[in-house]
Amino acid sequence: MKSKIVECVPNFSEGQSQEVIDAISEAIRSTDGVSLLDVDPGPSTNRTVYTFVGSPDAVIEGALNAARKAYKLIDMTKHKGEHPRLGALDVCPFIPVQGVEMEECIFCARKFAAKLAAELKVPVYLYGYASEQEYRKTVPQIRAGEYEGILEKITKPEWKPDYGPAEFVPSWGATMAGARKFLIAYNVNVLGTKEQAHRIALDIREQGRSKEEPGKLKNCQAIGWWLDEANIAQVSINLTDHDVTPIHAAYEEVRKGAKELKLAVTGSQIVGIVPLKAMIQAAEFYMSKENLFVLEEDQKLHLAINRLGLSSLGPFNPKERIIEYMLPEDENGSLATKSVQDFIKTVSARTPAPGGGSVAAAVGAMGAALSCMVGQMTYGKRQWERYDSQMRRIIPVMHETMNELISIIDADTSAFNDYMAALKLPKESPEDIIMREAAMEAGLKKAISVPMSLAKAISKLWDYLKELATLGNFGTKSDLQVGVKCLETGVFGAYYNVIINAEGIRDEKYKNGVLNEIEQYRSLAEKSCQETLLILQERRA
């Protein structure tokens, strides 16, 4: 089972004093259960973004420790910087990363806000998903007027803080604590003036110039500023939902705006940490745009870094900037990351899990891997170059399915453990029995959904496999034969798991539906495997 991980990204209004920056870093780093992933100071903005992860309780304590230290060291009466700010600890968001829903991050934000206000006697506003008031839900809404406007603003009934005194604390200002999705802080370099960069920002940000002149990009906040240390202007962007507006979309829009103003764009900069998905999205955009064939994850990252110019102001190291590569390892590890020897020995142990479901996923992943290998041993070779376009279409499907099946190795064991936990629930009262039965039914449905996803993933490969059997490098014939049988075995393993788990399901409509569906996958696998092997058997180079 994967542990619960929450990300916390407090922004402190100090980016020039290394002594203060280091002291806050140490306060976070010394918190039990917390991993400090990144510290990103900005001298011109006079602001430092800290990124750390941990369990819900640990990140709350880490944020409090940082705030306690900042309270002693930062004096907002002396603060000046390019970045808008409300207080010494300006914003403190909590973001779900692993095994955590947004509701738990809302709880983190409110618990942190209550403790901060009670201990330091400072005003705290809730924002994002943690706020229940539409007119003060976003950071720009709450930050309007900035630090200098707090004295007048905080006395108005509609701007009473959610926690803490409705009083101006000169040395601190006010803090915003919230829960949100992953926000990407992203700056694009423009060789122009601060004012020209801001003109571009007004064109792209969602709020635009006014209600009558909205901007081009949804879930996008932006301003233009000057970066003294690099002697350039930047369009500074916050992407609040990178699924709606991805990094590359923002970059390309800034390039268009700069071109209209006859300005050069010289790369860009990610502040803090970025999700792997966002980088892969950018790579796949440029792959499609330029008709490129790039398969491996590290090569896709190399492409994205290059096309976005992410190393223009300093090296962009994926292992230090992409959150998935920085998460602390699960204490128990995962089945998929074990050595082959250790995985086999774990399966052989006197425990019910991992069992047939995880093995079926592992065997299926091997089959997809072998099929991917056959494609790659065909692609790019002069003897088979007439089939390059087909291989460019087939190989990514095999590669993606391989990765999908690898994830199912652990998912199957996790589903089994959930069902076993339901079995152990109390059954002393009628209410206990009802709750236990509902949990068991839900556990069985989850235990069915995992092998069903395994069978479904493999079933989309059969047509590609027949094509690969017809066109692929003849020297890899036996490899594909082994791969095809592995994939068939994966489906049969899924079939047997669904059948046995369906026996305990009371929902007859659901039960009949899954039994019909898994039978279709089994029948298709058996038929398609035979057809693919026949193609290979009859083929003569």
Phi, psi (rounded to 5 degrees) for 244: -85, -50
Per-residue confidence (pLDDT) for residue 437, from 0 to 100: 87
How many whole angstroms separate alpha carbon 334 and alpha carbon 361? 14
Do 265 and 248 form a contact (C-beta atoms < 8 A)?
A: no
How many whole angstroms separate alpha carbon 251 and alpha carbon 339? 41
Count of C-beta atoms within a 10 Å radius of residue 164? 23
Phi, psi (rounded to 5 degrees) for 249: -65, -40
Per-residue confidence (pLDDT) for residue 412, from 0 to 100: 85
Q: Please tell me the least confidently modeled range out of 96-105, 427-436, 483-492.
A: 427-436
Mean pLDDT of 75-102: 94
5-8/89-98 β-pairing: antiparallel
Q: Which two tokens stand for residue 78?
A: 């002396």
How many whole angstroms separate alpha carbon 447 and alpha carbon 500? 10
What lies within 8 Å, CB to CB, of 366 at 6+ separation is 483, 486
Q: Is the pLDDT of residue 298 over 60?
A: yes
Please state the three-class secondary structure of 51-64 as a single string: EEEECHHHHHHHHH
Q: Where does the pLDDT of residue 1 fall: very low under 50, low under 70, confident under 90, or very high at 90 and above?
A: very low
Q: Which of 79, 83, 198, 242 is catalytic?
A: 83
Do 154 and 214 form a contact (C-beta atoms < 8 A)?
A: no
83 given a catalytic annotation: yes
Give the model confidence (pLDDT) of 68-82 as tens digits.
Answer: 999 999 999 999 999
The kind and range of the H/E element at 419 are helix 388-423
412 given a catalytic annotation: yes
Per-residue confidence (pLDDT) for residue 67, from 0 to 100: 98
How many whole angstroms separate alpha carbon 459 and alpha carbon 174? 56
Q: Which of 162, 203, 410, 412 is catalytic?
A: 412
Give the model confidence (pLDDT) of 450-497 as tens digits.
Answer: 999 999 999 999 999 999 999 999 999 999 999 999 999 999 999 999
Distances (CA, A) of 125 to 63, 110, 284: 15, 10, 39
| Three-class secondary structure of residue 291 per DSSP | coil
Do 37 and 51 form a contact (C-beta atoms < 8 A)?
A: yes
Do 484 and 535 form a contact (C-beta atoms < 8 A)?
A: no
Q: Please tell me the least confidently modeled range out of 256-260, 302-306, 338-342.
A: 338-342
